[in-house]
Amino acid sequence: MQLSKILIIIINVFLGIIVVGIGLLMLPAPAGLIWGVFNAWIWIGAPISLLWAKKKEDSKTEEKK
């Protein structure tokens, strides 16, 4: 994996933590929780799962060779 892709994911996770935290602090309880879960997935969960899926796919491709 290229270093630039890993750095982009790390920056994305860091900014996601900031966005989720601001949303939780600014919004009232029910809306804040919904906002937090949604943004945690968009900013943190999805990039990590995409990285994991790509790594798994690459390892399957290497096994076939």
CB 11 within 8 A of CB 44: no
Q: What is the pTM of this model?
A: 0.60
Residue range 5-61, pLDDT digits in tens:
788 878 888 888 888 888 888 989 888 888 888 888 888 888 888 888 888 888 888
- Inform me whether the pLDDT recorded for 65 exceeds 80: no
pLDDT of amino acid 19: 83
Q: Quickly state the pLDDT bin for 1 (edges 50, 70, 90).
A: low
Q: Report d(CA 13, CA 17) in Å as an integer.
A: 6
R_g (Cα) of the chain, nearest Å: 16
